[in-house]
Amino acid sequence: MLKKISVTDAVGKVLSHDITEIRPGEFKGPAFRKGHTVCDQDICHLQKLGKNHLYLIDLEKDEIHENQAAAILAKSLAGPGITWDNDPKEGKICLYAKTDGLLRVDAPALAAFNMVDEVMCASLHSHTLVKKGRQVAATRAIPLVMKRAPVERAAAIAGQNGGILSVHPLEAKKTGIVITGNEVFSGLIKDKFAPILRKKILDLGSAVSGITFAPDDESLIQKAIDTHLSDGCDLILLSGGMSVDPDDVTRKGILKAGVTEMHYGAAALPGAMFMVAYINGTPLIGVPACGLHHRVTVLDLVLPRVLAGEHIGKKELAFLGHGGLCMDCPECVHPHCPFGKGM
C-alpha cells in the first residue's frame, strides 16, 4: 500500500525507491537511492526534481517492491552465459554477457513475458555477437509496488527453458575450404574468395586447415570434401557453383559426398543461393558468388550460429526473410543495422 506525503513533511522519512535526476546531455541516474533518510537540505533538491510529494510504502502480504520484483525477474531471465548485478538502479536490473559469444533470445518466451502486466524486459536482437561484459538486456517491474503473483508468473514464463537470455561461446572449428570453378582451377582468373572466407573464419576464432581448388566436376568436388573430412575438419565452406547454370555442380558434388540433409536457398539478400548441408553432423556451407562482392551476406548471419552449435535447417533459413534485405549502404555499418535481425 502506498501513502502519499508532502515532501515538506518528509524529513526523517526513508525513501522507498530511487529518485531519478536527468540533466540533459550531462547526467541521468539516481539523485537519491532507496533507503536514503530525507534530511532538511534534501527538500529543495527534491522540489527542483519536481517532487512535491513522496510515497511511503507499507507492503501488504501479497505485494512486492519493484526492487524485489526486478531481482526475481532478472534471475529467471538469465540463462547460461548471462550475469547481472543484483543491485537495482531506479528499479531496473541490467543483464550482461558473462563470456564472448552469440546471444540467443527466446523470442516467443520474451513476448509472453512482456504480455504479463506490469513487468518488462528489453533485449538486444537474438544472434547478436557479444563480448564479455556487454549489456544484453534490462528488466524491471513497471509500478513501484505490485502484486507478487504476476511477478512470479512472469518469472515462470522466463524460466521455462532455463532462461530467456543466453550467451553461447563460439566453438573453434577446424575448417576446410573448397573453391570450385573451372576458371579458377585452370588459372584463367585469380581466386579472390579464399582470403575472404579465411578472414571470416579467423575473425570468429576458428582455424582454416586447408584450401582445396576443384573444377566444375561433381566427383572432384566430392573428393575435395572427403579429403577435408578425412583430415578431421568439422566445418567445410564451399564457394562457387551455387547458382543455376549448367556448370554449377557444387551441390551435386556435395550430395555425392553423402549428405544426410541439405537446405538450398535462404530468405536473405545478398545470399539467396546459400546452402547448408550436413554429413554425419558436420556442417557444410555453400557460399554463393555474392560473397565476393558484398562485405556482408547471409554467411555472416549464419556462420556465427553454426559456430555456436545451432543446427541450421529450412526453418532457420526461411525465418531470415523479415529483415533479410541488406540496404546496401554506401558505407556498411553492419552489425549496427537491421540486416538479419527480423527474427
Partner 1 sequence: MAPFDLLLKKSAAAHGHLCPGQVVGVRMAMLGCRLIRLSHPTRRDQIKKLLVYVEMDRCTADAMAHVTGVKLGRRSLKFMDYGIMAATFVNLETDRAFRIISTEESRDLCDIYAPELEEKSEKQILAYKRMPDSVLFRVQKVQVRVRDVDLPGPTRLKVFCTRCGQVVRDGRQIEKHGQTLCKPCAGNCYFSHTKEVTWPDMNWSPTIKEDLPC
Nearer to partner 1, 289 or 318 (CB): 318
CB of 111: closest distance to partner 1 in angstroms?
5
Nearer to partner 1, 133 or 162 (CB): 162
CB of 113: closest distance to partner 1 in angstroms?
9
Burial class (CB in 10 A: 0-12, 13-18, 19+), 48: exposed
Nearer to partner 1, 152 or 247 (CB): 152
- Locate 242 and state its grid cell: 551455387
CB of 112: closest distance to partner 1 in angstroms?
4
Instruction: In whole angstroms, give the CA distance from residue 80 to residue 82.
Output: 6
CB of 68: closest distance to partner 1 in angstroms?
20
CB of 251: closest distance to partner 1 in angstroms?
24
- Greatest Cα pair distance in the chain: 89
- Specify the residue for cell string 532507496: 34
Name every residue whose Cβ is closer than 8 Å to that of residue 17 and which is 6 or more positions away in sequence: 34, 55, 65, 66, 67, 90, 91, 144
CB of 108: closest distance to partner 1 in angstroms?
5
Instruction: Give Cα separations from 148 to 66, 84, 191 (angstroms).
Output: 10, 22, 63
Helix orientation angle between 66-77 and 148-158, rounded to the nearest 10 degrees: 10
Amino acid making up residue 313: G
Nearer to partner 1, 151 or 197 (CB): 151
Nearer to partner 1, 255 or 318 (CB): 318
Binding region for partner 1 (CB under 8 A):
107-109, 111-112, 115-116, 153, 156-157, 160, 315, 318-319, 343
The DSSP-derived string for 211-247 is: EEEE-S-HHHHHHHHHHHHHTT-SEEEEES--SSSTT
Angle at 77 between CA 71 and CA 83, to 5 degrees: 75
CB of 125: closest distance to partner 1 in angstroms?
14
Nearer to partner 1, 62 or 245 (CB): 62
List b or e across 266-299, with b for residues whose CB sees 16 or more CB atoms inside 10 angstroms: bbbbbbbbbbbbbbeebbbbbbbbbbeebebbbb
Nearer to partner 1, 76 or 180 (CB): 76
Q: What is the DSSP letter of 89?
A: B
The DSSP-derived string for 158-188 is: HTTTS-SEEEEPPP--EEEEEEE-HHHHTTS
CB of 152: closest distance to partner 1 in angstroms?
9
Shortest CA distance to 207 belongs to which of 171, 176, 174?
A: 174
Nearer to partner 1, 129 or 158 (CB): 158
CB of 60: closest distance to partner 1 in angstroms?
17
Shortest CA distance to 267 belongs to which of 301, 239, 295, 235?
A: 301
